Amino acid sequence: MPMSGTQQELTDRTRALLADESDLTEKAMFGSHAFLLDDRIVVAVMRDAQLLVRVSVDDAATLTLEAGAAPAVMGPNRREMGPGWLLVEPEALADDERLLFWIDAAREFNRLER
């Protein structure tokens, strides 16, 4: 399924901000466009242009206090993905500074897990 304009725009912005990562790979997954470092999802741009972010469980509680962030709830049964998975609303990603904030939070967790 082709991406919507807003999903494509956020995907392009995310790709540009991750361009310095030598081990970056991208995959279409479950209607999202996922960005992986060392074969692990760092962030994924969802169909509705929300950003799925993987952070440490310890940081997740604090990060949910950020505007537009909430625990990730997915699927028809609206199940929570688990601790450390957050969804960030498109409005909270309006500029590259805010998008980079979330990408950096996810990269930090990814580096800790290597």
What CATH number corresponds to the domain at position 11? 3.90.1150.30
Identify whether the C-beta of residue 72 lies closer than 8 Å to the C-beta of residue 92. Answer: no
* More confident position, 72 or 2: 72
Distances (CA, A) of 62 to 3, 40, 44, 67, 104: 31, 23, 20, 11, 15
What is the radius of gyration, based on Cα positions, of the chain?
Answer: 13
Rounded CA-CA distance 32/82 in Å is: 18
Q: Mind listing the pLDDT tens digit for each residue in 3-30?
A: 566 889 999 999 999 999 989 999 998 7
Count CB neighbours of 31 within 10 A.
Answer: 12
Instruction: Assess whether pLDDT exceeds 90 at residue 66.
Output: yes
Contacts of 16 by beta carbon, 8 Å cutoff, 6+ apart = none
Number of domains in the chain: 1
Rounded CA-CA distance 64/103 in Å is: 15
Task: Provide mean pLDDT across the span 71-88.
Answer: 84
**pTM (2 decimals)?**
0.90
Q: Which residues pair with 73 in a beta bridge?
A: 80
Q: Which pLDDT score, from 0 to 100, does residue 78 have?
A: 76
Residue % of the chain over a pLDDT of 70 = 92
Instruction: Assess whether pLDDT exceeds 80 at residue 80.
Output: no
Q: Which domain holds residue 81?
A: 5-113
Average pLDDT, the chain: 90
Q: Which residues pair with 51 in a beta bridge?
A: 45, 88
